């Protein structure tokens, strides 16, 4: 049996969990992974038993090593040629870290991230890695000192804070990082991005005093023409949910969406999501402004407006029709499906069956663990419309669990309104 040192074991667990979409903490996760391994071409279609997977992920006691077949299968699932290639990749990272002690080599991680000889994709990947290793174990955990230092460093701001947008920890560590970031980066785009994202956390936490105090500050910020579509969209999200909160049973002001349409046209177009092996970074979706408006309309049950908005989005961005395995695009499709059913515009014979989970997508769970709750809400809508009480109860339980764990009670309120509709 090949040698599997504790650091390499941990690294392979992390790599598989990243591909799977979440940490493997329960036997049911191992059952789902067994199915994934059997159908995923990247793993060679090889099967591993749930009992083997439970031992590998530490859910049951294990003595002795693992067969090379097991390690190769998991390494291929994680995107490597085999276990030997995975070991070489990990060794390469260790050598790069050790090189920091060499003469004329940056000795500080923020300095390493700022190295001019690193191409932007390499910096993004390094920022993603730093985001993963500084993430707290618990959602309410404090920000790591390294994360706060990166928030004060220009390269850390661009390739860590603005790319690794950790919304699941927004009412915790990532919120602290954003506050530090706002102290050091005073550009209009940075201020719009930071305050818009903090508003989101406060609104989801139902901290009305906090979000009401932040809203006028957010709306008063200047927006130069070159400002990225994503922070612009976050401000549009804030306007919609604040207007809805003031009158939840009323329709939106007739001037609001036409104005947001004009702003959407003026927003710069982002590039398409990068192809593998780069992750689907937060700010790389071409229709970013449009997505955040759609998210706000979905969460506030403005379904007539949502159907029209997504139709306009698809017309403005025809490339979305062929963009697959992208979190934002799949969510737009899921939102539209619910909106059509809720407004009676679904195609004849289209059953309101449950959608597929985001965990099947080729992306990274730092983004998925926030947006998975949106898919759970989609599933709840579809189960309610199908009169499937057991499925509705399961979807509601997932939403409530997320809302409790991540201090976002707003999602629980949304689920309650779906059940009452």
Half-sphere exposure of 44 (CA within 13 A, CB side): 15
Task: Tell me, yes or no, whether 149 lies in a domain.
Answer: no
pLDDT for 284 equals 81
Q: Are residues 62 and 193 in the same domain?
A: no
> 16-30, 95-109, 284-298, 316-330: which has the highest mean pLDDT?
284-298
Query: Same domain for 84 and 220?
Result: no
| Both tokens assigned to 140 | 């309410």
- What confidence score (pLDDT) does residue 140 get? 84
241, pLDDT greater than 50:
yes
Residue 65 lies inside a defined structural domain of this protein: yes
Shared domain check, 382 and 266: yes
* Residue that is last in its domain, among 35, 65, 99: 99
Domain-located, residue 15:
yes
153 in a structural domain:
no
| Residues 178/194, Cβ–Cβ less than 8 Å | yes
pLDDT, position 270? 67
Q: Judge if 46 and 193 occupy the same domain.
A: no
Rounded mean pLDDT, 272-278: 56
Helix axes 6-20, 27-39, angle to 10 degrees: 70
Are both 90 and 212 inside the same structural domain?
no
Digit-coded pLDDT (tens) for 192-238: 999 999 999 999 999 999 999 999 999 999 999 999 999 999 999 99
Please indicate, yes or no, whether residues 383 and 249 belong to a single structural domain of this protein.
yes
Whether residue 329 lies inside any domain: the answer is yes
311 and 406 assigned to the same domain: yes
Please tell me the predicted confidence (pLDDT) of residue 87: 75
Residue 27: predicted pLDDT: 87
Q: How far apart are CA 352 and CA 371, in angstroms?
A: 20
Q: What CA–CA distance (Å, rounded) separates 293 from 233? A: 7
Q: Are residues 84 and 207 in the same domain?
A: no
**78 and 224 co-located in one domain:** no
- Do 93 and 190 have their domain in common? no
Last residue of a domain, one of 68, 99, 130: 99
Residue 227 covered by a domain = yes
Q: In terms of residue numbers, what domain contains 366? A: 186-420
71, 217: one domain? no
Tell me, yes or no, whether 119 lies in a domain: no
Which domain-ending residue is among 74, 99, 124? 99
* pLDDT, tens digit (0-9, with 9 covering 90-100), for 115-155: 777 777 778 888 888 888 888 888 888 998 989 999 999 99
Question: Computed from CA positions of residues 242, 165, 279, 408, in that sequence, does the dihedral angle turn out positive or negative?
Answer: negative
**Same domain as 213, residue 70:** no
Provide the percentage of residues in the chain whose pLDDT is more than 90.
48
**Is 110 part of a structural domain of the chain?**
no
Closest CA to 44 of 81, 11, 4: 81
CA distances from 399 to 199, 206, 388, 393, 410 (A): 21, 16, 17, 10, 10
**Each residue of 290-308: pLDDT tens digit?**
999 999 999 999 999 999 9
pLDDT at 360 over 90: no
What's the Cα-to-Cα distance from 346 to each of 196, 252, 383, rounded to whole Å? 34, 23, 15
Count of the separate structural domains present in the chain: 2
Give 344's contacts (C-beta < 8 A, 6+ positions apart). none
Determine phi and psi for 171, rounding to 5 degrees. Answer: -90, 50
């Amino acid at each position: 049996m090949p040698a599997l040192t504790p650091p390499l074991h941990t690294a392979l667990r992390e790599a598989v969990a990243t591909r799977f979409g979440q940490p493997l903490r329960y036997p049911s996760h191992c059952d789902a992974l067994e199915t994934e391994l059997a159908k995923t071409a990247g793993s060679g279609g090889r099967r591993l038993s749930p009992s083997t997977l439970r031992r590998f992920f530490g859910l049951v006691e294990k003595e002795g090593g693992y067969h090379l077949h097991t390690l190769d299968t998991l390494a291929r699932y994680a995107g490597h040629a085999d276990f030997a290639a995975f070991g070489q990749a990990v060794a390469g990272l260790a050598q790069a870290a050790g090189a920091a002690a060499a003469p004329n080599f940056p000795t500080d991680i923020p300095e390493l991230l700022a190295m001019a000889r690193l191409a932007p994709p390499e910096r993004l990947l390094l920022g993603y890695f730093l985001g993963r290793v500084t993430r707290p174990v618990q959602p309410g955990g404090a920000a790591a000192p390294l994360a706060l230092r990166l928030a004060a460093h220009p390269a850390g701001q661009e390739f860590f804070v603005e790319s690794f947008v950790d919304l699941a920890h927004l009412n915790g560590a990532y919120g602290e990082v954003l506050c530090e970031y706002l102290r050091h980066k005073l550009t209009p785009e940075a201020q719009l991005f930071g305050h818009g994202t903090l508003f989101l956390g406060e609104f989801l936490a139902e901290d009305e005093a906090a979000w009401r105090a932040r809203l006028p500050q957010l709306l008063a910020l200047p927006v130069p023409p070159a400002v990225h579509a994503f922070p612009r969209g976050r401000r549009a999200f804030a306007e919609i949910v604040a207007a809805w909160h003031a009158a939840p049973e009323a329709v939106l002001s007739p001037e609001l969406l036409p104005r947001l349409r004009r702003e959407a046209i003026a927003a710069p177009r982002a590039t398409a999501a990068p192809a593998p092996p780069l992750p689907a970074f937060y700010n790389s979706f071409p229709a970013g402004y449009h997505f955040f408006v759609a998210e706000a309309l979905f969460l506030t049950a403005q379904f007539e407006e949502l159907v029209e908005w997504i139709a306009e989005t698809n017309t403005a961005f025809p490339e979305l029709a062929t963009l697959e395995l992208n979190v934002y695009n799949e969510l737009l499709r899921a939102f539209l499906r619910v909106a059509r059913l809720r407004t009676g515009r679904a195609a004849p014979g289209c059953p309101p069956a449950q959608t597929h989970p985001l965990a099947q997508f080729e992306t990274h769970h730092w983004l998925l663990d926030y947006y998975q709750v949106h898919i759970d809400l989609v599933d709840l809508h579809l189960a309610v419309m199908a009169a499937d009480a057991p499925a509705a109860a399961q979807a509601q339980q997932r939403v409530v669990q997320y809302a409790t764990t991540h201090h976002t009670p707003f999602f629980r309120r949304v689920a309650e309104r779906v059940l009452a509709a």
